[in-house]
Amino acid sequence: MGTLRHSHRGHLAKFLWDMILEAYGFAFCQQRTMLLLMVSEDEKALKFIRKRMGAHIHPKRKREVLSKVLVAVRKAAAKKG
């Protein structure tokens, strides 16, 4: 009962992933996907990331995560100036 399910990441693991992302940035395929999302090419972005990751569920989730990152970046830019 005390252990987490495999789909729930612990606080330490999330912290480490965030540190790695901050230090090294996004992978090339993630950067390309974000560029496609910026110009509203959602289906093309899904097709591109699906070709790299395989399956269908994981790329859909990755596309949602990257689109949330773009929204956060836009909010930060709007707040900054």
**pLDDT tens-digit map of 20-54:** 988 999 999 999 999 999 999 999 999 999 999 98
HSE-CB of 63 using CA atoms within 13 angstroms? 22
Domain ranges across the chain: 26-80
- Report the predicted TM-score, pTM, of the whole model to 2 decimal places: 0.77
Sort 33 into a burial class: Cβ within 10 Å, 0-12 / 13-18 / 19+. buried
Torsion of CA 58, 73, 30, 26, to 10 degrees: -110
Helices 42-53/28-38 angle, 10° precision? 170
Cβ atoms of 62 and 70 within 8 Å: the answer is no
